[in-house]
Amino acid sequence: MKLLEIARLTKRFGGLVAVDQVDLSMERGETVGLIGPNGSGKTTLFNCVTGLYPSDGGQVLFRGEGLSGLSPHRVAQRGLARTFQLARIFKELTLYQNMISAQRHDRENFLRTPARGCSPGVSRRIESWLEFVGLTGLKDELAGEVSYGQQKLLEFAMVLLSDPELLLLDEPTSGVNPIMIDQIASLIRKLHDQGKTLFIIEHNMKVVSSLCERVFVLDYGKKIAEGTPAEVQQNSRVIEAYFGY
């Protein structure tokens, strides 16, 4: 059974069809890319999968179970985590508190609210993920006061804390300097080596080529190609979509 199966997924906004009968799937452990020109529906697709938008047709199966109609928090509790194109973290909280907000939420008895923030097991995991992204020293700083690159790294650590089965990354390397890009790319590679399944929206073709085993291409909401990064870069339809000829 494939980890994620999307069949004929459709999303309309008024007269505009943002996602048009898209089919795609991926197996556990894969790192799959989603590319396409601006406005081709990639983020919208993510939003439909994670429940932020209700879809207008098709289905999404995760581990064989449907995700349609589920509220975003239920989707997250099933094991899907996602980052946003513009890193969304909680600026009014410290990095450590941000991590606490990201802990696994399905098993808790929410009436019990430990004073220090979480059980020892969870705090160990928080420390280790903060170390993974290199932010241990900043853990008591307010998230709003660190640099944007660091916020992006924080968002990474947050979505990893709950040990999700599938990670949806929306333009993980956008908006940061080249050194940071390499840092993030190597983080992603490490995650892949740890066996995580990753679905990545990206514009940076170098990153896509080096990280993704397979790539899907969207244009105006439709899937126009799929294959390895090399195959897709040669595909005439893809070239036409990006360059117009």
Partner 1 sequence: MDGIQKLRIRNVPAFFGFLGCLALYPWIFTDPFPRHVMIILFMYIILGQAWNILGGYSGQISIGNHIFFALGAYTSTMLLLKAGLPPWLGVIPGMIIASASAVFIGQICFDLRGHYFAIATLGLAEITAIVFVNWNFVNRAFGFQIPAMKPPNLYVQWTSKVPYYYIALILAAAVVAFVWKIDRSTLGIYLKAIKEDEERAKSLGIDSRRYKLLAFVLSAVMTALAGTFYAQYVLYIDPDSLLNLEFGLLIIILPMVGGMGTVLGPVLGAGVLIPLAEYTRSVFGGGGRGVHLLLYGLIILLIAVYEPRGLVGIYRRIKRRYTKTKTSE
Residues that bind partner 1 (CB under 8 A): 50, 52, 71-73, 76-77, 81-82, 84, 88-93, 97-98, 100-102, 104-106, 110, 113-115, 117-118, 142, 144-145, 158-159, 162
Parallel, antiparallel or unpaired: strands 31-35 and 4-13: unpaired
Q: Which residue's CB is nearer to partner 1, number 86 or number 231?
A: 86
How far apart are CB 106 and partner 1 at their closest, in Å? Answer: 7
How far apart are CB 116 and partner 1 at their closest, in Å? Answer: 8
Nearest alpha carbon to residue 216 among 36, 9, 84, 95: 36
Helices 148-161 & 178-193 angle (0-180, nearest 10): 10
Nearest alpha carbon to residue 208 among 188, 237, 238: 188
Nearest alpha carbon to residue 33 among 21, 42, 20: 42
How far apart are CB 122 and partner 1 at their closest, in Å? Answer: 10
Q: Which residue's CB is nearer to partner 1, number 7 or number 118?
A: 118
Q: Which residue's CB is nearer to partner 1, number 157 or number 238?
A: 157
Q: Which residue's CB is nearer to partner 1, number 146 or number 212?
A: 146
Query: What are all long-range contacts of 151-154, with beta carbons under 8 Å and residues at least 24 apart?
Result: 151/87, 151/89, 152/83, 152/87, 152/176, 152/180, 152/184, 153/183, 153/184, 153/187, 154/87, 154/89, 154/95, 154/98
Q: Which residue's CB is nearer to partner 1, number 72 or number 149?
A: 72
Backbone angles phi, psi at 12, to 5 degrees: -115, 145
How far apart are CB 217 and partner 1 at their closest, in Å? Answer: 25
Q: How far is the C-alpha of 225 from the C-alpha of 219, rounded, in Å?
A: 9
How far apart are CB 212 and partner 1 at their closest, in Å? Answer: 23
Q: How far is the C-alpha of 66 from the C-alpha of 130, rounded, in Å?
A: 33
Q: Which residue's CB is nearer to partner 1, number 94 or number 233?
A: 94
How far apart are CB 182 and partner 1 at their closest, in Å? Answer: 27
